[in-house]
Amino acid sequence: MLQEGEKAPDLTLPDQRGEARRLSELWGKGPVVLYFYPKDETAGCTAEACAFRDAYETFKDAGAEVIGVSKDDVADHASFATHHRLPFVLLSDAGGAARKAYDVKKTFGIIEGRVTYVIDSQGVIRHAFDSQLRPTAHVGEALDVVKRLASRS
């Protein structure tokens, strides 16, 4: 897993609408909460996504954007976002390039990892959190970091 203080890798991935999104363009507008999750429509991933959805306005008020990443394809992401009214970007990492670049390891070697990074507007990782078993804890931890970054601005 990448660590605080490291430069975040800049990649371009398709979002749930099939549009190419470059990460540096997103964090160039303010902090980004980049969360990697195993799979759309699974219990833990749905709870995590809905917790981010419920706190989304608070993240936006603090100047941050939320971005979810999994290996699911664009169509699956579109369905997941619509089904759960997710207002944020979901990126498709079908080939695993983002997981590899961000060093998101599999749990027990078989389950895609659940890792959240908070990246500042300079593209520097300011927080990294890894917990497969506490998916909604990612939201609170990320929000605390985003609020600290906002208070320094």
Q: Which tokens belong to 128?
A: 């990294």
Q: How far apart are CA 101 and CA 98, in angstroms?
A: 5
Neighbours of 4 (CB within 10 A): 12
Residues forming the active site: 45
Identify whether the C-beta of residue 109 lies closer than 8 Å to the C-beta of residue 74: no
Q: How far apart are CA 137 and CA 124, in angstroms?
A: 22
Residue with tokens 């579109």: 78
